[in-house]
Chains A and B, each alone.
Chain A
Amino acid sequence: MRSLIDIVTGFWSFVVGLGVTLLNALRRPVTFQYPERYYVPLEGFRGYPALVVDPDSGEVICTGCQACARACPLGVISMEVAQREDKKRYPTEWRLDFGRCMVCNLCVEACPFDALRMSPDYEVAEYRPEDLLYDLEHLKLPREPIAVSRLDGTTVKVSFAGGERG
């Protein structure tokens, strides 16, 4: 008798399980087709460290102080610095070996001038590892605002230019 009850309850547990899968089959799928529908990253998403540009001149506001390069655990940041006539220093070249970068945000936090920010761009796949060596031009954040999403589900345009945080 006990084994009979066992069989019946066991069978019932299967039916219950089938109910769960049926219920979920009736829900909308949660995945979507990516390139057709772009995934808008959440605000603050860390894509790769990139250089903030001055909205007027379009030049990077980095002063070449090397604080970020020192903060980086992996030493993947390197730069060459020159001096303008007004004694202001600026980088003539700024390199990031993104293939080795672990996107840890330490360099961004180290920058005293807020000249470095995390780009929300995540489409960074390349065919060759050499292409992951980013140079100054590549690392410039766009002057136009970039669309990011918020936790409440809205999408907003946030400016990544200038010193102020959007």
Chain B
Amino acid sequence: MLTDIAARLQALFDQVHLWCSQSAFWSGVFAVGWSLFKVVLIIAFMVVNVLVLVWLERKVSARIQSRLGPMRVSRPHGWAQSLADMVKLLGKEDIIPRSADRALFVIAPIVSFTAALLVYVVVPMGPSAVVSDLNIGMLYLAAVTSFTVMGVLMAGWGSNSKWTLLGAMRGAASIISYEIPMVLAVLGVVMLAGSLSTTAIVQAQSGLWNIVLQPIGFLVFLAALFAELNRVPFDMAEAESELVSGFNTEYSGLRFAFFFLAEYANLVALSAIGVTLYFGGWQGPVLPPLAWFLIKTYAFIVLVMWIRWTLPRVRIDQLLSFGWKVLLPASLVNLAVTGIYLLWV
């Protein structure tokens, strides 16, 4: 039944494609339309995932903390809670502080959101299910993830409030200094795969997952991931109990929702990258690749949440010294060991 529909869609797609390729103009339209379709698909995938994740996070934290978590909105277990929250946020008054830098204030959430979106381009969800199999996938990733910091900085500066500024400065410092160990850790994986393309990296792990070969690299990646995602123990930019709410203190309603969306979209994206790099991506027996991909990604996300709800927050200077004095050397050692390993094998 399902394969039937898929086959028909495929046939339809082929026909349209064929028809369009007859003239230069229509093939252009087709290319644009097809890209737009992909973009919409990504956004849909992301939003759905975020909604599930927000709910999941609340459930996981509730379970850890001996609570029930959201239960009211729809049965079972209040699964529609994040939908309701979304609707609530959409209905909120849009407040822009009088002293804020309007342009920056308005753009910041969009920048954050877009940065999160861009990562999805290279996440391989199946053998051919990747938006664009760039042969410089990992490089692209390293470039794009740093975009997040722009949104944070713009929001912090644009709000024109002291707490947001402090949050933004912290966020920028932590994200930038954790970018380097992260890239270095990822480099180990790239060396093993011999390619920067994410698909190739997944295929290189068909035998053994990289987590076995690169335990140190994985830990460095995990630590950097927390800084990149602004999560406890490294949630410098938000630091609820210190900076009120950090860089997004002044935001409310729809704009706040964008930050929220971006935060969780980043979580999915980076977890997906983590799975791709260290847990064999979409590979797995019996189940279809997409299922494996989702299962692994969600398992990874639960791990991230579990850590988040266990640890206290470090201080910004400790965070930085940890990044430069521990993670960086560790990732370099990892790199060297990987090189030696490759020479020998």
Contact = CB atoms under 8 A, between A and B. Distances in A.
- Bin the interface of chain A by size: 10 to 19
A29 B77 CA distance: 13
What's the dominant secondary structure at chain B's contact region? loop
Interface in A99-119: none
B107 interface: no
Contacts of B65: 24
A21 B306 contact: yes
Contacts, number: 35
A31 B68 contact: yes
Interface of A is mostly: helix
A44 interface: no
Contact of B66 (A17, A27, A33): A27
Interface string B57-80: 000001111111001000000000
Interface string A37-65: 00000000000000000000000000000
Nearest to B303: A18
B66 A24 contact: yes
Residue from A17, A27, A29 whose CB has the most chain B CB atoms within 10 Å: A29
Contacts of A33: 68, 71
B311 to A, nearest CB: 6
A5 B140 CA distance: 36
A31 B306 contact: no
Contacts of B67: 29-31
B36 interface: no
Contacts of A133: none
Interface in A61-90: none
A21 B68 contact: no
Contacts of A24: 64-66
A25 interface: yes
B129 interface: no
A16 to B, nearest CB: 10
19 contacts: A7-B326, A14-B310, A14-B311, A17-B310, A17-B311, A18-B306, A18-B307, A18-B310, A21-B309, A21-B310, A22-B306, A24-B66, A25-B64, A29-B62, A29-B66, A29-B68, A31-B67, A31-B68, A33-B68
Interface of A: 7, 14, 17-18, 20-22, 24-25, 27-33
Given A25-B64, A29-B68, 18 more contacts: A7-B326, A14-B307, A17-B311, A18-B306, A18-B307, A21-B306, A21-B309, A22-B306, A24-B65, A24-B66, A27-B66, A28-B66, A29-B62, A29-B63, A29-B66, A31-B66, A32-B68, A33-B71
List 9 tightest A-B contacts by C-beta distance, closest first: A21-B310, A25-B64, A25-B63, A21-B64, A30-B66, A17-B310, A31-B67, A29-B68, A29-B66
